[in-house]
């Protein structure tokens, strides 16, 4: 069985104003709201999902604490698709459209709704337009005619500057197959190299990771918030 990532399920973005984000993505981009509920396992937190397709969504997470984090360009936000932001943060978000005709239709839609749009820009393997979303989001819409051809788009100069040697590059181009063990695999030590999730109260991450998988599964909240609906 092929144990690889198959696509984007959802991209979760913090917000201090989930209504403004929902309004923008439904009105300006035509995406449908498909879920809006109390986020499971998170106190005083809402979760909203906007449909890209049946299996992929843009999601927003709002809690009272989000609004207390001050946005700062170059740290929390890049501000545009080429500017820097802190390591590990979202630099920009590119959403897919079907083709160039749809890209032009979306350009007209956005400009008609008073959103300035840069482009289209021809990047070779994709064509894109750029614009801003609420709360400083740097957004892009893109279309591609086919898959990216690595032989044309992996620059030896950048490979060298990134510190990638020939053996590593060969592995990155063709990741080795992994035989998934039939037996249960225990949790790695939380004092190990990780990476590890963070921003938990002291000791909570360690306690969570020590719980049996069955206990986590049994604690799941999986009923829709509106009774009788699915």
pLDDT in tens, 6-19: 889 999 999 999 99
Question: Is the pLDDT at 2 greater than 70, yes or no?
Answer: no
Given this model, what pLDDT does residue 227 score? Answer: 75
- What is the rounded CA–CA span in Å between residue 94 and residue 131? 10
- The pTM (predicted TM-score) of the whole model is 0.92
Peptide bond into 64 cis (omega under 30): no
pLDDT in tens, 44-95: 999 999 999 999 999 999 999 999 999 999 999 999 999 999 999 999 999 9
pLDDT in tens, 196-221: 999 999 999 999 999 999 999 999 99
Cα dihedral angle (82, 84, 85, 90), rounded to 10 degrees? 30
Given this model, what pLDDT does residue 207 score? Answer: 96
Query: Among 120, 123, 99, which residue's Cα sits nearest to residue 110?
Result: 120
With helix as H, strand as E and coil as C, how does the chain read? CCCCCCCCCEEEEEECCHHHHHHHHHHCCCCCEEEEEECCCCCCCEEEEEEEECCEEEEEEECCCHHHCCCCECCCECCCCCCCCCCCCCCCEEEECCCHHHHHHHHHHHHHCCCCCEEEEECCCCEEEEEECHHHCEEEEEECCCCCCHHHHCCHHHHHHCCCCHHHHHHHHCCCCCCCCCCCCCCCCCCCCCCCCCCCCCCHHHHHHHCCHHHHHHCCCCCCCCCCCC
Classify domain 8-69 by CATH number: 3.10.180.10
- What is the rounded CA–CA span in Å between residue 168 and residue 133? 37
pLDDT in tens, 100-159: 999 999 999 999 999 999 999 999 999 999 999 999 999 999 999 999 999 999 999 999
Q: Burial level of 194, CB count in 10 A (0-12/13-18/19+)?
A: exposed
- What is the rounded CA–CA span in Å between residue 58 and residue 60? 7
- What is the rounded CA–CA span in Å between residue 68 and residue 131? 25
Residue length of the chain:
230
Question: Is the pLDDT at 183 greater than 90, yes or no?
Answer: yes
- What is the rounded CA–CA span in Å between residue 52 and residue 10? 9
Given this model, what pLDDT does residue 5 score? Answer: 86
Using 50, 70 and 90 to split pLDDT, how confident is the model at 228? low
Is residue 63 within 8 A of residue 42, CB to CB? The reply is yes
Given this model, what pLDDT does residue 41 score? Answer: 87
Given this model, what pLDDT does residue 3 score? Answer: 63
Given this model, what pLDDT does residue 229 score? Answer: 60
- What is the rounded CA–CA span in Å between residue 54 and residue 134? 25
């Amino acid at each position: 069985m092929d144990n690889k990532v198959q696509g984007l399920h959802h991209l979760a973005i913090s917000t201090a104003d989930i209504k403004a984000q929902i309004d923008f993505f439904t009105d300006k981009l035509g995406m449908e709201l498909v879920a809006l509920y109390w986020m499971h396992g998170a106190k005083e937190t809402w979760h909203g999902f906007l449909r890209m397709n049946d299996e992929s969504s843009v999601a927003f997470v709002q809690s009272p604490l989000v609004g207390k984090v001050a946005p700062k360009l170059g740290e929390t936000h890049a501000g545009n698709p080429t500017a820097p932001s802190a390591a590990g943060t979202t630099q920009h978000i590119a959403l897919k459209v079907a083709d160039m005709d749809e890209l032009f239709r979306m350009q007209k839609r956005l400009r008609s709704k008073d959103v300035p749009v840069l482009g289209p820009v021809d990047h070779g393997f994709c064509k894109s337009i750029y614009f801003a979303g609420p709360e400083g989001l740097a957004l892009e819409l893109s279309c591609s005619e086919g898959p990216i051809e690595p032989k044309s788009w992996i620059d030896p100069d950048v490979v060298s500057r990134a510190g990638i040697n020939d053996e590593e590059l060969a592995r990155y181009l063709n990741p080795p197959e992994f035989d998934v063990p039939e037996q249960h695999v225990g949790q790695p030590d939380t004092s190990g190299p990780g990476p590890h999730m963070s921003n938990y109260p002291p000791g909570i991450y360690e306690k969570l990771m020590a719980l049996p998988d069955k206990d986590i599964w049994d604690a799941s909240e999986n009923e829709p918030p509106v009774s009788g609906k699915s």
